[in-house]
Amino acid sequence: MGHDPADHVFLDPLAAAPPARAGDHPAALRLGTFDGATVVVMRFAAGQRLDAHRAPHAITVQALTGELDFRVGDESGRLTPGRLVYVRAGVHHAVHAPVESVMLLTLHTGDEAGFRHSGPDRD
């Protein structure tokens, strides 16, 4: 018996990450929206940042390359490849990249609409 193509998707966030852009903020690309989650990849040039803000949904943030200084309220932590942080919805947080870095952001939306592909790669 076959499978439904909407049951899964393989993504390569490092290959899909947009090139860094000039300015203070990173380049971003939404890779897709899945059941309950939206996945975004961001590339930071050294020194770029995301100023303090709140997300409407819980998030996980993972460093894929480089280093990211992640601040939640008054607490800071360094994300290196493979390390991630979870932040509840509505909590102030900020990100700074001291070196060129790629970050994977997952917004845990709770939506049940199925997968909608947004990125360049789909296996």
pLDDT in tens, 18-65: 999 999 999 999 999 888 899 999 999 999 999 999 999 999 999 999
What's the pLDDT at 28?
Answer: 98
The CA–CA distances, whole Å, from 9 to 19, 27, 55, 121 equal 23, 23, 25, 10
For residue range 58-116, list pLDDT tens digits in order: 999 999 999 999 999 999 999 999 999 999 999 999 999 999 999 999 999 985 554 44
Q: What is the CATH class of 26-117? A: mainly beta
Helix and strand numbers (H, E) in the chain are 1, 10
Q: Residue written as tokens 């966030």?
A: 13
Q: Where are the alpha helices (DSSP H) in the chain?
A: 13-16
State the CB neighbour count (10 A cutoff) for residue 46: 12
Domain boundaries, the chain: 26-117
Phi, psi of 111 (to 5 degrees): -65, 150
Beta partners for 29?
Answer: 41
Model confidence pTM above 0.95: no
**In this structure, what token pair is assigned to residue 10?**
């393989």
